[in-house]
Amino acid sequence: MGLYDGPFWRSVSERRLSLQCCRGCGAFRYPPGPICPECLSEDSDWQPVSGKGEILSWVVFHRHYLPAYKPPYNVIAVRLDEGPLFMSNLEGVAPEGDWIGRRVELVYATMPDGFVLPRFVLAN
């Protein structure tokens, strides 16, 4: 975890996903960092996001790279309604066909080791 990532993971563990937001221009930024790439202000706070977005792309891993991820498993790229792109996983069903553009919403998944992870499900 990087120097600026703490508040993100705290917000996840509190089930209230928040992203860093520039006080100078109001732009959300992800991943968090020391300065706003839009206006170069160092002044920021953390704002909850809606957790709503749409699928930009998706893949299915068929190779075992990480101990916690046994294949096959999916990764989706979500464009949050607030703007930032967010890499995550789709829960419940595997993505298929042309699911690009499908609406998704945030859920909180508890991993076997107790770690809470922000993931997505298809929106109703």
Partner 1 sequence: MVKPRHRRTAAIIGVGHTDWVGDWVRTRAGEKPADSVGYAARAFRNALHDAGIARDQIDGLIVGPTTPYERMGELLGLNVRWGGQADAVQSVTQACMAIEAGFAEVIVLVYGNNQRSGGTQYGGPNAMGGGAYLSYVYHAPWGLTSQGGLYALMMRRYQSERGFAERDLGEVAVAQRGWASLNPDAIMRKPITIEDYVASPYVCEPLRMLDYCLINDGGVALVIAEAGRARTLSQRPVFIEAIGRSDLNRNATSLAPRLLDLYLPAQQEAASASFEGAGIGPQDIDVVQIYDSFSVHVPLALEGYGYCALGEAGRLLREKGIGPGGQLPTNTAGGHLSESYMQGWSHQIEAVRQLRGECGPRQVPDCRFVHYSSDVAGKAMSIIYGR
Site residues for partner 1 per CB under 8 A: 30-31, 37, 56-63, 65-69, 72-73, 75, 77, 84-89, 98, 100, 115, 117, 119
Written as one letter, the residue type at 27 is A
CB 18 to partner 1: min, Å: 16
Closer Cβ to partner 1, 52 or 119, answer by number: 119
Distance of alpha carbon 42 from alpha carbon 19, whole angstroms: 15
Distance of alpha carbon 7 from alpha carbon 69, whole angstroms: 25
CB 89 to partner 1: min, Å: 5
CB 122 to partner 1: min, Å: 17
Distance of alpha carbon 3 from alpha carbon 34, whole angstroms: 9
Closer Cβ to partner 1, 70 or 124, answer by number: 70
CB 94 to partner 1: min, Å: 10
Phi, psi of 8 (to 5 degrees): -60, -50
Q: For the stretch 5-35, what's the b/e string if a residue is b when 16 or more beta carbons lie within 10 angstroms of its beta carbon? A: eeebeebbeeeebbbbbbeeeebbbbebeee
Closer Cβ to partner 1, 67 or 124, answer by number: 67
Closer Cβ to partner 1, 115 or 124, answer by number: 115
